[in-house]
Amino acid sequence: MAIGRKQKAGAEGRRTGPGGEAPWWDPEDQAFAERPLLARSDLGKGWQSVPMFNNAERLDPHGDDPASEELRTIRARRRLTALDEGAAWRLRRAGVLAVVRTEVFADDDPADRAAHRDAWDRLGTICLDAVWRQRWTERDRAPGWIEALRRRGDRPAVADLSAPAGSTEADAPDPVDWITVEDQTGTVESGLVTQYEHLTLWRGRALVTLTVRHGQGDDVDDALAVAAAAVLRRMAPPAR
């Protein structure tokens, strides 16, 4: 994420973005994106909201590597119509930070949506590894050992409480992709290993990314599964 001035977008619609940003968003979709999808109570005791007044979202969250370029091309077919990355929470007793990024796309074609998710399934770990390294380089720091691993059977299930009544696991695919990024940049100096839980939630035209930074050994999995279920309940962008 980048740092910069943010302001309301005035007559063009609800959009909190960099000053002077030319309107590109759909007002209805942007209004949905800026609705709170996660509440402090969803995360449990000890969490508190953290203002992100100076955060300027990146319209393109990917890096410059070949895998990111392939994913970017597939994602672009859906056409971004709304974006918000202004909500964050911190766990008071530890250095744990959770950030929510909401994206809405114009295209709800099942084939394009499936292609987008399939690309993320193939390329997501490669892309995140490259993005993490690129962000450190942008800060004039040499990245340390970084590894992104997809989690499947070793993570808690996320209850999709918004699935249609009567649906089964067979006809209601898991709407969550969970990747853990381990980042040892600065570990030699600090003695600490930082991990990031990167959850991607898919629902129609909406895509929500829940990223949680924590120390190695912090038990955050169950809280994140509950939080992801709460977000899925609220992921219903305006109908097209």
- Specify the CATH number for the domain of residue 116: 3.40.1000
* pLDDT, mean over the chain: 85
Q: What pLDDT score does 56 carry?
A: 66
User: Does 23 fall in a domain?
Assistant: no
Radius of gyration, CA atoms only, the chain: 18
Cβ atoms 78, 95 nearer than 8 A: no
- Taking residues 61-81, report their average pLDDT: 95
Cβ atoms 228, 237 nearer than 8 A: no
| Helix, strand, or coil (residue 180) | strand
| Helix, strand, or coil (residue 121) | helix
Instruction: Report which residue type is found at 229.
Output: A
For 60, list phi and psi in degrees, rounded to 5.
-110, 110
Q: List the domain range (segments joined by +) for residue 61.
A: 2-6+28-234
User: Does 13 fall in a domain?
Assistant: no
Among 96, 113, 106, CA closest to 48: 96
Question: Given the structure tokens 């091309």, which residue do they identify?
Answer: 73
Q: How many domains does the chain have?
A: 1
| Helix, strand, or coil (residue 175) | coil
Write down how long the chain is: 240
Question: Given the structure tokens 């005791």, which residue do they identify?
Answer: 45
User: Does 41 fall in a domain?
Assistant: yes
User: Does 19 fall in a domain?
Assistant: no
User: Does 125 fall in a domain?
Assistant: yes
Query: In which region does residue 135 sit, left (phi positive, over 0), alpha (psi from -120 to 50) or beta (all else)?
Result: alpha
Q: What are residue 90's DSSP bridge partners?
A: 48, 97
User: Does 71 fall in a domain?
Assistant: yes
Tokens read off for 72: 């970017």
Q: What pLDDT score does 18 carry?
A: 63
What are 170-213's pLDDT values in tens digits? 344 689 999 999 999 988 888 889 999 999 999 999 999 999 99
**Residue 221, exposed/middle/buried by CB under 10 A (0-12, 13-18, 19+)?**
middle
Q: What are residue 195's DSSP bridge partners?
A: 182, 214
User: Does 87 fall in a domain?
Assistant: yes
For residue 9, is pLDDT > 60? no
User: Does 115 fall in a domain?
Assistant: yes
Q: What pLDDT score does 17 carry?
A: 63
